[in-house]
Amino acid sequence: MEEKTLSQVLIKALHYVKSFRGQVFVIKLGGEVMCDERVMDCLAEDLVLLNSMDIKPVVVHGGGRDISDAMKRFGKVPEFVEGLRVTDAETMDIVKMVLIGKINTGIVAKINKQGGSAVGLSGKSGKLFMAQRRKQKIDLGFVGDITEVNTELVSVLLEKNYIPVISPVGFDSGGDSLNINADTAASRLAVSLGASKLVFMTSVEGVLDKKNKLISKLTVKQAKKLIAEGTASAGMIPKLEACIHSVEGGVARAHIIKSREHAFLQEVLTSKGTGSMVYLK
């Protein structure tokens, strides 16, 4: 990049940095992101850079692919109902082992390697995600819906300049662990923290129209219309619904982007961005 071009980019980015100083960004990582070591290294660099500029990132991660792989190694066949994993007691143990013991610690290690100070949490830490079992005709087992979000511990960590990394495992009033949808967890957390941004790092470019062209900006009303008309793909619907919930709950912008090297910085620190942005109006 030529010096003049680089300086222009940095000047424009500085404007965004100043406007976002002190604000919380919630980043949700899909399983496909964590399978790419280079992308994860770049994301860790991005998070540490933002944190050094007094922008406060919070990471929520999934791990469906790794959970399914682990289940198969233990001789269990993954079973889904309407996109939700049927989670018996043994499967719940595997979920905790993979999400908390493997993926969470791996993300924390990458951020710390880049000079950050990441802290691994689950939804059980500090009563972060209190939940109840999902009620529907087919018993899904230990699958939960969040009933309460307690952000005190996360807020303390952010004040001390730590980067929280959160596994979506909650618990009910009886103390049982519950498997929570990571998209929903990220959205609920973003609203409760008063975040200014919620960013979904995914394997797709963003939200596509009927001609499979990227929609770079859309209002909540337009997002709801895409779902109602069936334009949004089955895999995109939960993310769009999470974006809608967060923006209606006070989050200024929700983003869905494809996971590439430093795509996160490009999305949040440039006017063009890389994916789709959902806003109120």
- Stretch among 3-7, 69-73, 82-86, 164-168 having the lowest mean pLDDT: 3-7
Biggest CA-to-CA distance, the chain: 62
Q: Is the pTM of this model over 0.85?
A: yes
**What does the block give as tokens for 85?**
């994993």
Domain 25-279 bears CATH identifier 3.40.605.10: no
> For the residues 5-21, what does the mean pLDDT come to?
76
Between residues 33 and 148, the one the model is more confident about:
148
Share of the chain above pLDDT 70, in %: 96
pLDDT digits (tens, 9 = 90+) for 54-66: 999 999 999 989 9
Give the start-to-end residue ranges of the domains of the chain.
25-279
Query: How does strand 129-133 pair with strand 80-81?
Result: unpaired
Q: Based on the number of CB atoms within 10 Å of its own CB, is 176 exposed (0-12), middle (13-18) or buried (19 or more)? A: middle
The pLDDT tens digits for 104-125 are 999 999 999 999 999 999 999 9
pLDDT score recorded for residue 233: 78
Would you place residue 84 in the very low, low, confident or very high pLDDT band (cuts 50, 70, 90)?
confident
Query: What is the model's pLDDT at position 216?
Result: 94
**Using CA of residue 121, residue 65, residue 38, residue 29, what is the dihedral sign?**
negative
Q: Which of 68-77, 81-90, 151-160, 187-196 comes out lowest in average pLDDT?
A: 81-90
- Write the pLDDT tens digit of every residue in 243-257: 999 999 999 999 999
pLDDT at 2 over 80: no
8 A C-beta contact, residue 172 and residue 178:
yes
